[in-house]
Amino acid sequence: MQLRYNNSITLCSLFFFSLFGLNYALGAPALSIHTDKTVYEYGDHLSLILEVSEVTGDTITFQIIDYSGKASSPIPIQITNLKTEITAPVAFYKTSFKPGAYHIDAKYSGSSANVVFTLMKSDKIAIPPQYKSLIKLWSDGQQATDTNFANVVRDLIQYDIIQIPELMNQTTNSSVYIPAWVKNNAKWWSNDLISDNDFALGIQYLIKAKIMTV
């Protein structure tokens, strides 16, 4: 009789906690996450659309995970509306992201969601802004040696932003020669008067044609 009583208590307890767990799960707010497009190129900014069924005061925390399983640090986003759109302040650059499939895992008040996007390599050239700042210093004469300019170009070659395969593994060059008029092109680019594509393809041509050496 005692055994049957204990079994009844155990069954009732399991039933109660099952219902509690179900209610808790049903009570968690819904979460969805989308990107503004499924395929990005270098130079594009990642845009996310976050939607929840209830504003709980918690943050949405998400991580970007690459094809190898390497995850970014958790990124918390404080939300005050049911729908939130955010755009990454920094674009995709070859210096930081390799082409391939990425997925984003998001968590919010007991709920989770994920989305997948692809970063593709295209003919579009995108140069990180820190290089533009260095080139501006050189073109304005604040860093006067041509070696400063050559160092930037070498970096862009190493990251395959300027595509010269035969120089990919070359880190130094005993001779540096930059035609004086290249400084004008560099100044136009650093002042956003010509595009990354035009500037990089111009430098690429000058090196391949042996008009400039870095």
Residue 16 domain flag = no
Please state the φ and ψ torsions of residue 28, each to the nearest 5 degrees.
-70, 135
* Domain end position, chosen among 93, 120, 147: 120
Residue 7 domain flag = no
Question: Looking at residue 46, which CATH number applies to its domain?
Answer: 2.60.40.1930
Q: Where do runs of H (alpha helix) occur along the chain?
A: 2-27, 129-139, 146-158, 182-190, 196-208
Number of structural domains (the chain) is 2
Structural domain that includes position 172: 129-208
Q: What percent of the chain clears pLDDT 90, i.e. is strictly above it?
A: 65
Residue 110 domain flag = yes
Question: Is residue 113 located within the same domain as residue 153?
Answer: no
pTM over 0.95: no
Strand runs labelled E in 80-134: 83-87, 100-108, 111-120
Residue 177 domain flag = yes
Confidence category of residue 8, pLDDT binned at 50, 70, 90: very low
Confidence category of residue 1, pLDDT binned at 50, 70, 90: very low
Axis-axis angle for helices 146-158, 196-208 (nearest 10): 100
Q: Average pLDDT of 89-109? A: 96
Q: Which are the contacts of 6, defined by CB distance < 8 A and separation ≥ 6?
A: none
Task: Say what the alpha-carbon torsion angle 71, 77, 82, 87 is, to the nearest 10 degrees.
Answer: -80
Question: Is residue 63 located within the same domain as residue 91?
Answer: yes
- Positive or negative, the CA dihedral 184, 190, 193, 194 is positive
Question: Is residue 51 located within the same domain as residue 100?
Answer: yes
pLDDT at 194 over 50: yes
State pLDDT tens for residues 39-79. 999 999 999 999 999 999 999 999 999 989 999 999 999 99
Question: Is residue 159 located within the same domain as residue 85?
Answer: no
